[in-house]
Amino acid sequence: MSSAPGSYYVPNPSAWPIIGSIGLFTLLLGFMLFLNEGAAGTWLMIVGAGIVALMMFGWFGTVISESEGGLYNDHVDMSFRMSMLWFIFSEVMFFAAFFGALFYTRTLAVPWLADTDLLWPNYEGGWPTAGPKGPLPIDADTAVSDPAAQFSTIGPWGIPVLNTFLLLASSVTVTIAHHALKHNARGNLILWLGVTLVLGFVFLYFQAVEYSHAYGELGLTLGTGVYGATFFMLTGFHGLHVTIGAIMLTVVWLRCLRGHFKPENHFAFEASAWYWHFVDTVWVGLFVFVYVF
């Protein structure tokens, strides 16, 4: 298993992939049973998630030790970089589906429904809307008295705009940390990466506050027609991705504490940073199209 210059590292057979498949299968099977009121579902889900986590630890652990062991050369590094970029592209397309749903309903479906007097005689359309049978929208950020009849949306200029600044700032701080790493300024690296993490977690905390506000006072839930559906699916999947990105950065931060990474070789750091920028960009799209307009 040499890594002589110019040769490409081909890893030995590995059991992590099959463990990952078993974990994924168990997780999804459990979820499926859970949705269909099977008792075993919850337990299977936990077991499955555990196996997947184990796989992640094991697999990434192997990769890290191979990397720190100097088995990878620039050529391998390049493969990793390219794959991360293409992976992020696939994530972009995943969000595109939900943004597409938002644009489609707003610009086409809802106006059509509003025009269909034969079936929905009193429906006015407009946005936000929960559809002809759903509760009626009232002004943003006003608490509703009867969630069956009314709902309210989250206006952009409260927490959402604050969250925008948090994420944008975190993109800056992660870049500062990257520069520090390139100049081998370990103290600054750890500091700025730590700040990034804090910003990320504060963002998530605010999102949680928003959600409970929405469910508790505004009568805005997943079930609030297409508005609720697109709102929660978009922000929810975004939040999930922030969480994943934050976990990735946390791992990277811990590795920095241990003295991993070199100024010229730090793929894991860069990959996480790219992912973070991506999550950030999605948020800007969300802010503009979900909250502001």
Radius of gyration of the chain, Cα coordinates, nearest whole angstrom: 23
Residue given tokens 């590094």 in the structure block: 77
105 binds another protein (CB under 8 A): yes
CA dihedral (76, 244, 99, 120) positive or negative: positive
Closest CA to 75 of 268, 272, 267, 271: 267
Nearest distance from C-beta of residue 3 to another protein, angstroms: 8
Among 203, 227, 253, 276, binds another protein (CB under 8 A): 227
Distances (CA, A) of 210 to 38, 59, 154, 155: 32, 36, 8, 11
- Segment interacting with another protein, rule: CB under 8 A, options 42-50, 159-167, 223-231, 271-279: 223-231
Closer to another protein at the Cβ: 181 or 218? Answer: 218
- Segment interacting with another protein, rule: CB under 8 A, options 176-184, 217-225, 243-251, 280-288: 217-225
Residue given tokens 């088995």 in the structure block: 71
187 binds another protein (CB under 8 A): no
Nearest distance from C-beta of residue 201 to another protein, angstroms: 26
Interface of this chain with another protein, residues 9 to 28, rule: CB under 8 A = 9-18, 20-22, 24-25, 28
Nearest distance from C-beta of residue 207 to another protein, angstroms: 18
228 binds another protein (CB under 8 A): yes
- φ/ψ (deg, to 5) at 30: -60, -45
**CB of 38 closer than 8 Å to CB of 14:** no
Among 67, 173, 207, 221, binds another protein (CB under 8 A): 221
Nearest distance from C-beta of residue 169 to another protein, angstroms: 29
222 binds another protein (CB under 8 A): yes
Q: What is the pattern of x (binds another protein, CB under 8 A) and - over residues 65-104?
A: ----------x--xx--xx--xx-xxx-xx-xxx-xx--x
Distances (CA, A) of 100 to 5, 104, 134, 282: 47, 6, 22, 13
Supply 210's token pair: 């928003």
Closer to another protein at the Cβ: 134 or 200? Answer: 134
Total residues contacting another protein (rule CB under 8 A)? 76
**CB of 234 closer than 8 Å to CB of 286:** yes
50 binds another protein (CB under 8 A): no
Question: d(Cα 115, Cα 238) in Å, to the nearest integer?
Answer: 33
Closer to another protein at the Cβ: 4 or 146? Answer: 4
